[in-house]
Amino acid sequence: MRSHRTIGAWLARGVWAAAVLLALVGGQDAAEAADQTGHVKTQCEICHSGLGRTAAALPALQFRQDVHADKGFTCVDCHGGDPRAADKQQAKGPSTGYRGRPTGAGIVTTCARCHSDAELMRRYAPTQRIDQASEYATSVHARRLAAGDARVATCISCHGAHGIRLVSDAKSPVYPLNVATTCAACHANEAYMKGERLAGGAQLPTNQLHDYQASIHYRALTKGNDLSAPTCNDCHGNHGAAPPGVGAVANVCGTCHAVFAARFEQSTHKQIFDRACVECHGNHAVQPSSDEMLGSGAKAVCVTCHSPGDNGLAAADKMRGGIERLKGDIAHARALVDRVANQGMEVSDQALALGEAGNRLTLARTEIHAANPASLDPIVAEGLAIVAGVDTAGQAALAELRFRRKGLFGSLAAILVVVVALGIKIRELDRARRSP
């Protein structure tokens, strides 16, 4: 407890030391009130940045790094007031339009005044979307806010209020690598979320970050540097955060895994599953898939609902059988091709064909999402036919090698005979020369 307070005090002292320093450097010449970048300082900024160790000073200091300051906006664009008045009372008088500190829905209105204004945004950032507030209005956050829940996220929970950065800035709280932590500030905080309920009435879980960090998506994003891997907002929307409803999950996953979603669409499961992909893969803790997930083995997902003897499990086993056969044949053919290649034979055609067969295997793993052996069979058959061709070519190459080896052996033997005969002849000549 005590050490917390000490560290807190120490940190606060650091912040205020920096604050005073910046104030001295930046706010010195109040008369001129324009910095090197041409940014004209308002009296609001000048007074506030000199307020020392108070909560009212920090916004003025943070605002110097703000994208809005870069565009020439000032305090009054969000707060109202008279920017030319050096006196506090005058700056915030009744006729100045001063609005004070916005809260709750007032924050959304403050930001939306510009961000929902097509004409204004076109002037500053022509390609910028203007649907943040209307999207936000569809979120659970907005609906709960309207019902009086002040704990939900508003614009500033995810972007900050001062020191707002471009979303492409790696330091922005909504940069892909930072989003999970931004959402988790609330969603992983059990005490903060206590009493928040799912639509069904159960306590809202707080394990999303924990589960997500165990997923292949998180690993691909953070370890694999794959920015196309999803974080929270890719599945929940940037502004319309809500759990994907019944029937919508396949669309969420399908934004990236489109072919899987299309096959799932054709399956019997489509009509039955409320949670689509999530029924078999989970939502936050999606794991790398494996062939063991298919069939009737202990690790198969099919056995959680299907029992021995029913059509579903029979189909599962049949599809797994096809995949295993193709996988086995590919492995066998690859070993053969490698053997032949090691002996110096040209195998680029065969290697190419094996790549083709591998594509069929990938396609087969996608096709199982239609849950229909009849649509899988032709793909497996094509793969097997390609592998059979490679196998034939590989066997022919082996036979050729055997033939060449025989030929080589024949020529070596002939050379040996000549060498031996020459040796004998030389010795005879030698002997003949030495004899008197």
Q: Which of 19, 23, 39, 75 binds ligand HEC (CB under 6 A)?
A: 75
Q: Which of 15, 22, 214, 278 binds ligand HEC (CB under 6 A)?
A: 278
Piece of the chain touching ligand HEC by CB under 6 A; list 129-137, 384-392, 409-417, 421-429: 129-137
Piece of the chain touching ligand HEC by CB under 6 A; list 13-21, 25-33, 43-51, 335-343: 43-51
Query: For the purposes of burial, counting CB atoms within 10 Å of the CB of 49, is it exposed (0-12), middle (13-18) or buried (19 or more)?
Result: buried
For position 379 contacting ligand HEC by CB under 6 A, the verdict is: no
Residue 280 phi, psi dihedral angles, 5° rounding: -105, -30
**Upper half-sphere CA count for residue 168 (Cβ side, 13 Å):** 1
The smaller minimum CB distance to ligand HEC, of residues 240 and 394, is found at: 240
Q: Which amino acid is at 326?
A: L
The smaller minimum CB distance to ligand HEC, of residues 19 and 280, is found at: 280
The smaller minimum CB distance to ligand HEC, of residues 317 and 353, is found at: 317
- The size of the interface with ligand HEC (CB under 6 A), counted in residues, is 147
Piece of the chain touching ligand HEC by CB under 6 A; list 30-38, 74-82, 328-336, 383-391: 74-82
Piece of the chain touching ligand HEC by CB under 6 A; list 25-33, 139-147, 324-332, 352-360: 139-147
Structural tokens at position 13: 């002292």
Which of 151-159's residues contact partners 24+ apart within 8 Å by CB, and which partners?
151/186, 151/192, 151/193, 151/196, 153/183, 153/186, 153/241, 154/104, 154/105, 154/107, 154/108, 155/107, 155/108, 155/111, 156/107, 157/182, 157/185, 157/186, 158/182, 158/183
Q: Which of 23, 91, 347, 379 binds ligand HEC (CB under 6 A)?
A: 91
For position 45 contacting ligand HEC by CB under 6 A, the verdict is: yes
Q: What angle do CA 133, 139, 142 make, to 5 degrees?
A: 70
For position 336 contacting ligand HEC by CB under 6 A, the verdict is: no
Q: Which residues from 216-255 bind ligand HEC, rule CB under 6 A? A: 216-217, 220, 226, 228-236, 238-239, 241-244, 249-250, 252-255
Q: Which residues from 387-426 bind ligand HEC, rule CB under 6 A? A: none
For position 167 contacting ligand HEC by CB under 6 A, the verdict is: yes
Distance between CA atoms of 286 and 220, rounded to whole angstroms?
12
